[in-house]
Chains A and B, each alone.
Chain A
Amino acid sequence: MATQISPCSSSSTTFPPSSLNQDTFSSAKFFNFSTKSSSSRWVFKIHSRINPKNQFELKSSNGYPLNAISLQDGAAEMPLAKELVSREQAESNLSVTIVGASGDLAKKKIFPALFALFYEDCLPQNFTIFGYARTKMTDEELREMISRTLTCRIDKRENCGDKMEEFLGRCFYHSGQYNSEEHFAELDSKLKQKEGGKVSNRLFYLSIPPDIFVDVVRCASGKASSKNGWTRVIVEKPFGRDAESSGELTRSLKQYLAEDQIFRIDHYLGKELVENLSVLRFSNLVFEPLWSRNYIRNVQFIFSEDFGTEGRGGYFDNYGIIRDIMQNHLLQILALFAMETPVTLDAEDIRNEKVKVLRSMRQLRLEDVVIGQYKGHSKGGKTHLGYTEDPTVPNDSLTPTFAAAALFIDNARWDGVPFLMKAGKALNTRRAEIRVQFRHVPGNLYKRNFGTDLDKATNELVLRVQPDEAIYLKINNKIPGLGMRLDRSDLNLLYSTRYSKEIPDAYERLLLDAIEGERRLFIRSDELDAAWSIFTPLLKELEAKKIAPELYPYGSRGPVGAHYLAANYNVRWGDLAGDD
């Protein structure tokens, strides 16, 4: 949304205020405020977002705020922005409520990310953080708990201790049941107290099991919504376990929330290199001409972990690797990779293109999938347990811990190009990467210099998301020396050598985006539907037919079936090619 010219009208048309509690806000915005006031707040935040890197301020601040990327409330006009900033700052308050505050994700990711944002000056001047869970705890106890996981990860700058104290001072706790409207009403009054009459913007982060999503949303929305600002809810996966349950969840959520209040998080979309994917494609001339079936032979999305469920398989066993990794993380990256050029970088434009790609995809067929499950393995005197030996996993579980799949996009750009996915636990490495394998050179003059295996002589573009972020392009090059010997060398961009700064965690980016109302990296309901409809028939068939996974040893490269699947489409997995 958010065109620069008439911010408010565009915002109101694109995102009709929710029927529940945004009315007041919207009307306040439309009638009482100057049209620019709410938006200017965001301009300020963007300034502060880039505060620590002053030398780039001009370029970035020119570029970014005017570009409508983060202007969920309408784009600003720069001249007005500054004078309004301080007033705005003083008048609004952000409350972030973490529902499920005693959980693992909250401790390991959410609080640290919020602190990092605070440290980087990315949070508004007035903010409050509330933990909400069933456990009885005081504010002090919460602070004690959080402080253990806070670290000054960002470059180890000065007065980290002070900053931490300051941050903890803004953290509070409220214990309550997840389905109690009463308890949420109590939370609301505490929040109001902290907000002190300022315009209140409330963000709820649901870090809870999926079966209580709807309860919490009902209570939070009914009792703890902001009366004069926005209310947004961040939801974590799983978003259902198939098309029906996901549709059901969406319908339930929408009883209480408008589409634009729901922020479905996919933390892979917050990864630096996934963010960079669009930059690479659309800001460089040299890639886009190659980005089609004319030049690309196949694309691979690879995700591997070098550990198993390790005693926490209860949740996983109910979902399996296809739902846990492929249907969301890898498919999202695929959609970003393969989408047509969007009209702008605005969230709606990008998500429209992603939906188009997803809807052009064939439903995944059983023969295009290989599933695996890791078994116990002893290596160097150390024994690793098999998946079914995990006490939290049923002994006869057929849940796949590994899957490989071949997907196809039946549109003009990608017809016939296999998109291969591979995801697995307990493999030999930990990595996440995108590999683009290019076609053979037609009429290659140097054919004879390559020997018999021409597949080794094709170009490949690799975006390594983790570990050690990097981009490299494999090219054929002459080995220096007399004679004419060729080999594949890399044109390299290793992030650690180019950028000294620590790369922020995906959660930082996503939290900040949710606070700023930037929806680009969140999943819209129709995207989710389209994603499920690709995978649901297959998932049903796997379960109905009780297909047994191919067993592979813990710490291995996964089932060999993956190679045969790839070979069906004349593809080789790039990560196992041996020249990495």
Chain B
Amino acid sequence: MATYPPSTHCPSSSAYSNNSSLINGSNRLPQRTSFPSILRKRCRSTKLYLHQSSNGVSLSKAVHVQDGAKSMKASPVENDGPVKILKDGILSVPPVTPPEESIDIASFDFNKDKSTVSITVVGASGDLAKKKIFPALFALYYEGCLPEHFTIFGYARSKMTDAELRTMVSKTLTCRIDQRENCGEKMDQFLERCFYHPGQYDSQENFLELDKKLKEHEAGRVANRLFYLSIPPNIFIDAVKCASCSASSANGWTRVIVEKPFGRDSESSAALTRSLKQYLDEDQIFRIDHYLGKELVENLSVLRFSNLIFEPLWSRQYIRNVQFIFAEDFGTEGRGGYFDNYGIIRDIMQNHLLQILALFAMETPVSLDAEDIRNEKVKVLRSMRPLRLDDVVTGQYKSHTRGGVKYPAYVDDKTVPSDSLTPTFAAAALFIDNARWDGVPFLMKAGKALHDRRAEIRVQFRHVPGNLYNKNIGTDLDLATNELVIRVQPDEAIYLKINNKVPGLGMRLDRSNLNLLYAARYSKEIPDAYERLLLDAIEGERRLFIRSDELDAAWSLFTPVLKELEDKKIVPEYYPYGSRGPVGSHYLAARYKVRWGDVGSEQ
């Protein structure tokens, strides 16, 4: 909104740019065109593609239309007409400010035609804020992706001055993007827009103070406010309540980014959602799953839907199994307190891997709009069988000495109870009972303290029926099936394993890769997932955020098995720190005639 100059559309009688069109009824254009302008900025550093990007993304209807979405969809709210849309941000905030009033207030203001974004990082002194959120915001700023006018507020309980916050933030800022010129300058400019407000997470008063400060900085512009809740789950609701009641934008939108965990089972998740919805509308809640912001996960839909050659293969007819693999090569390392309460299934599988699975397996959406994509994802999740205990293997790493170095066991971690049964590794086989995927095992594997660090999707294709070359392949036909690998990290890559004739006289076949190694193809640094997600939240692009019904469906797949694991106190299989994980995962896979693609002799 910042860069859109709406003056020509705005009769002086109107309070601010948005509502001229709203009040006049039919023409919502000014409000929507503000997004294309932001998008153009998004692509400022890559001008040559401007057309494609701005055409494609911004104009596609309802993608960015968070403020107008309601009127575009056949939702009950539509009946409320322009007034309802107008006060989007304050929709459910009691007491509702009458629109006329806000118009009056705003009309006095000098900056009435302009808008601003205030990003408040709640929990600013935390680790995530320091390591990810502030650097991502800076990267967006550096790339020219933030609106012209923006303010960043840190909010936390610690006493700190603005200067202290800036010092703290500046330590983690780097010019990660290609090391371009005047980085120092940019950094200073960025830090100047960062402020700090100390306060309790459950104090409406403190948030009111914040509101006042925000207003000062907004200086009468249309105020859009984004709250990033980087705080423990037990204070989510308090913070949301206070922020919503005392620090909502009066004339722009107010959005809240929430990080996992979203509850620990169906019930607690639903309770959390219900509580959030007391204070926020569905379209104000941005549940972040940072895996969905990864470049190759974003690319998954592009691969499927913009290439002819993949979609015909994308079904049980050709795909034998799909594997979602996540491995870390380190353990909890003294920070197991949070993890121990959740375990790897909740921490990785139920959210990150399941989200990727849903994107992978969904039917073609009507459009790329957030609602269309999320509708398809929900359909997939609802077609899935709840996970059964026999289809799960859990593990926990034990200590291991290698090369003179002793690596601790999970339960050696001081923040973990010494009798903890929390799994640090899990493998699971899931099934989607729909026409496309009936009978195809979707295998997941996630673990800490394994021998390498990776995240990848592996699509193993079926055997070639009546393969003429079977005799050239030897006895192990499984080695001769095609496999599509999408490596999310490290070293982003896409490759397709094909059988190929080894050059030379005679007829020997081997598996070679048709390769696309990102590092070799794209010189540009790949942006961090948080950058993308923050930008999307600012722009109201909800595609990569999780809707409440998605979350419900996801939990209902995992809740029964999580309960059973805990009720029966199932002991995890122990595996040495730095190993390939419990062998149980091989037997699980073997039961469905699958081999893990990541532990074969060739990868």
Interface residues of A (CB under 8 A from B): 46, 49-50, 53, 56, 58-60, 62-64, 66-67, 69, 117, 120, 122, 272, 275-276, 278-280, 282-286, 288-290, 295, 341-342, 344-345, 438-441, 443-446, 448-451, 457-459, 469, 471-473, 475-486, 489-493, 495, 498-499, 501, 503-504, 508-509, 512
Contacting pair B482 A279 (CB below 8 A): no
Contact of A446 among B305, B481, B535 (CB under 8 A): B305
CB-nearest residue of chain B to A289:
B312
Q: Which of B7-15, B153-161, B450-458, B520-528 contacts A (4 or more CB under 8 A)?
A: B520-528
Chain B residues with CB under 8 Å of A69's CB are 507
B462 on the A face (CB < 8 A): yes
Chain A residues with CB under 8 Å of B83's CB are none
Q: Which of B60, B312, B463, B498 counts the most chain A CB atoms within 10 A?
A: B498
Chain A residues with CB under 8 Å of B302's CB are 446, 476-478, 484, 486
Chain B residues with CB under 8 Å of A485's CB are 43, 46, 49, 52-53
Contacting pair A60 B506 (CB below 8 A): yes
- Interface 0/1 of B209-227, CB less than 8 Å to A: 0000000000000000000
Contacting pair A441 B504 (CB below 8 A): no
Contacting pair A483 B46 (CB below 8 A): yes
Give the number of A-B contacts (CB < 8 Å).
253
- Interface 0/1 of B133-148, CB less than 8 Å to A: 0000000100101000
Given contacts A283-B473, A284-B498, contact A122 B306 (CB under 8 A): no
Contact of B56 among A279, A449, A509 (CB under 8 A): A449
Contacting pair B505 A286 (CB below 8 A): no
Contact of A459 among B59, B307, B318 (CB under 8 A): B307
Contact of A482 among B52, B143, B507 (CB under 8 A): B143
Contact of B318 among A46, A67, A285, A469 (CB under 8 A): A285
Contact of B53 among A60, A62, A445, A483 (CB under 8 A): A483
Given contacts A272-B503, A446-B368, contact A481 B309 (CB under 8 A): no
Given contacts A46-B506, A284-B499, contact A67 B309 (CB under 8 A): no
B480 on the A face (CB < 8 A): yes
* Contacts beyond the supplied A448-B56, A482-B143, A486-B306: 8 A-B pairs with Cβ under 8 Å: A49-B506, A53-B508, A63-B471, A69-B507, A284-B482, A491-B495, A491-B496, A493-B515
Contacting pair B462 A444 (CB below 8 A): no
Contacting pair B505 A295 (CB below 8 A): no
Chain A residues with CB under 8 Å of B97's CB are none
CB-nearest residue of chain B to A63:
B472
Contact of A478 among B298, B313, B505 (CB under 8 A): B298
- Interface 0/1 of B433-463, CB less than 8 Å to A: 0000000000000000000000000000111
Enumerate 20 A-B pairs (CB-CB under 8 Å) in ascending A order: A46-B506, A64-B471, A67-B472, A272-B501, A280-B498, A283-B472, A283-B480, A285-B461, A285-B464, A286-B309, A290-B312, A341-B466, A344-B468, A441-B311, A450-B52, A469-B503, A472-B514, A478-B299, A480-B527, A503-B503
SS of A interface (majority)? mixed
Given contacts A49-B505, A63-B474, A484-B53, contact A341 B512 (CB under 8 A): no
CB-nearest residue of chain A to B484:
A286
> Which 6 A-B pairs rank lowest in CB-CB distance, beginning with the nearest?
A448-B56, A63-B472, A491-B514, A449-B56, A283-B469, A283-B499
Contacting pair A59 B468 (CB below 8 A): no
Given contacts A284-B464, A486-B306, A492-B515, contact A481 B506 (CB under 8 A): no
- Expressed in whole angstroms, the minimum distance between the Cβ of B236 and any Cβ of chain A is 28
CB-nearest residue of chain B to A444:
B306
Contacting pair A279 B500 (CB below 8 A): yes
Contacting pair A276 B500 (CB below 8 A): yes
CB-nearest residue of chain B to A58:
B474
- Expressed in whole angstroms, the minimum distance between the Cβ of A458 and any Cβ of chain B is 7
CB-nearest residue of chain A to B319:
A285
Given contacts A480-B524, A492-B514, contact A445 B306 (CB under 8 A): yes
Give CA–CA (A451, B143) in the complex, Å.
Answer: 24
- Expressed in whole angstroms, the minimum distance between the Cβ of A36 and any Cβ of chain B is 19
Given contacts A63-B474, A445-B365, contact A275 B295 (CB under 8 A): no
Chain A residues with CB under 8 Å of B367's CB are 445
Given contacts A58-B474, A481-B527, A482-B532, contact A282 B508 (CB under 8 A): no
Chain A residues with CB under 8 Å of B508's CB are 50, 53, 56, 59-60, 63-64
- Interface 0/1 of B38-73, CB less than 8 Å to A: 010011001001011101110110000000000000
Contact of A276 among B295, B467, B501 (CB under 8 A): B501
- Expressed in whole angstroms, the minimum distance between the Cβ of B312 and any Cβ of chain A is 6
Contacting pair A482 B312 (CB below 8 A): no
Chain A residues with CB under 8 Å of B592's CB are none
Give CA–CA (A471, B475) in the complex, Å.
Answer: 27
Chain A residues with CB under 8 Å of B527's CB are 480-482
B599 on the A face (CB < 8 A): no
Chain A residues with CB under 8 Å of B499's CB are 279-280, 283-284
Contacting pair A479 B522 (CB below 8 A): yes
Chain A residues with CB under 8 Å of B140's CB are 482
B308 on the A face (CB < 8 A): yes
Given contacts A345-B468, A482-B527, A493-B513, contact A441 B306 (CB under 8 A): yes
Chain B residues with CB under 8 Å of A66's CB are 471
Given contacts A345-B469, A443-B364, contact A458 B308 (CB under 8 A): yes
Given contacts A450-B52, A486-B302, contact A475 B307 (CB under 8 A): yes
Give CA–CA (A91, B527) in the complex, Å.
Answer: 71
- Expressed in whole angstroms, the minimum distance between the Cβ of B358 and any Cβ of chain A is 17
Chain A residues with CB under 8 Å of B59's CB are 448
Contact of B482 among A285, A486, A491 (CB under 8 A): A285
Contacting pair B518 A480 (CB below 8 A): yes
Chain B residues with CB under 8 Å of A482's CB are 42-43, 140, 143, 145, 527, 531-532, 535
Contacting pair A279 B306 (CB below 8 A): no
Chain A residues with CB under 8 Å of B364's CB are 443, 445
Contacting pair B305 A441 (CB below 8 A): yes
Chain B residues with CB under 8 Å of A50's CB are 506, 508
